[in-house]
Amino acid sequence: MSYLICRLPVVLMFALLAPFNLPIAYASPPGSNDWSCQPSTSHPRPVVLVHGTFENMDNNWTLLSAELKSNGYCVYALNYGGTPLSLGVFYGLAAVKDSAQELSHFIEKVRTNTGADKVDIVGHSQGGMMPRYYIKSLNGAGKVGTLVGIASSNHGTTWSGLASLADNFPDILNIAKWLAASVSITLQQAFGIIAPSTTDQTVGSAFLADLNGGGDTFPGVVYRVIATRLDEVVTPYQSAFLTGPAVTNILLQDQCAADISGHIAAATVDGITRRNVLNALDPAHAVPPTCADL
């Protein structure tokens, strides 16, 4: 594979010079990253929002962040997994272990600024799976109360599922196609170079074997998984579900058969998902989701 490494600077130059004219995704989603926020007695744990692969904090969490803030939470979000190919927009590209280190540093900043012992985490796709590595391997278990994963890649997905995700991001897909054609490799191999997280999330990967070895969960953390039967990225959708103590697996269509949200919509626009997140973070005041939440 050494010839691929030699050609990689050419790909970086292509990415930097390509006239994408993309917006810079530094903006925090509404209601988030107020570093003066102090958690209330009713919501003592800050909420950290973790986006998915190829996404960023702004486009992933616009609605949920605002709703959490309006319900009295201190809300924080980050862009993680950036590389030279992120182009200021596409994140979650780096190896998952590296991204988990970024999350660890961010959570320490949140804890320091708020004085909270623990945070709650809400993550989408890779963002629902990656915090499990933080919890298991980076001393995060004592710092997380609840982890809510939305369409999480907990047990990996197929290459066809990842390809479906890439179809939603044509700019980075074009870079991968250019790399594949330039050095005569498959599109999957090209994505493995520009976005190592896709290799980590492919079913059967060494990373997933390490993550899930010994069980899905870690004592002391409450786990909630929200999945959609129409998930075209995490395939099959059941691979999002976890087993173990303190786990609740939720299928959106069991709560509303009319819910047609796929992988991205489940986190970005689905009202039933938002209701489930609020219930997971404050189970004492849970409201059963219905189709009226759509």
| The pLDDT of residue 8 | 42
Q: What is the pTM of this model?
A: 0.93
| The pLDDT of residue 128 | 98
| The pLDDT of residue 85 | 86
Q: Which two tokens stand for residue 103?
A: 């999350």
Which residues, given as ranges, of the chain have pLDDT below 70? 1-25
Rounded Cα–Cα distance for residues 48 and 164 (Å): 27
With CA atoms as reference, report the closest residue to 74 among 25, 134, 114: 114
CA atoms in the 13 A half-sphere facing the CB of 151: 28
Rounded Cα–Cα distance for residues 21 and 83 (Å): 18
Q: CATH classification of 2-293, choosing from 3.40.50.1820, 3.40.50.720, 2.60.410.10, 2.60.40.10?
A: 3.40.50.1820
- C-beta of residue 280 within 8 angstroms of C-beta of residue 273: no
- C-beta of residue 128 within 8 angstroms of C-beta of residue 149: yes
Q: Is the peptide bond before 44 cis (omega within 30 degrees of 0)?
A: no
DSSP 282: -
Please give, one letter per residue, the 3-state secondary structure of 219-272.
CCCEEEEEECCCCCCCCCHHHHCCCCCCEEEEEHHHHCCCCCCCHHHHHHCCHH
The ranges assigned to domains in the chain are 2-293
